Amino acid sequence: DKRKKGKKEEKKIKSQRVPNAKSGYEETGEIVECSDTQQLFKVLMNKTDLRGGLYGFHNFYKMELIKRKDTDLFILFTNWGRIGDSHGEFQV
């Protein structure tokens, strides 16, 4: 049971290192990890503006620092939009 749990956790960690599919680096890159803390350089932020009426105005903003596997090239991927929007906007 411990092996299964360990493999499941390892698979989860590996999947968290895969860049967003919209970046174009899903297969050829991986999200950078801090060597001291082992934290990934990716963030998801939410913004709610209550002046947006009864239901508010809800936005998201994502950033990932991606390193290409075959080079020392680093890419900052950003993705933003309204919460509930299927894609939003993005920039590599």
Question: In percent, how much of the chain has pLDDT > 70?
Answer: 86
User: What 3-state DSSP class applies to 61?
Assistant: strand
pLDDT-derived band at 42 (thresholds 50, 70, 90) equals very high
Nearest to 92 by CA among 62, 59, 60, 58: 62
Tokens encoding 68: 């290409």
Structural domain for 57, as ranges? 2-91
Domain count, the chain: 1
Please name the residue that has the structure tokens 């049971």: 1
Local confidence band at 12 (pLDDT 50, 70, 90 cut-offs): low
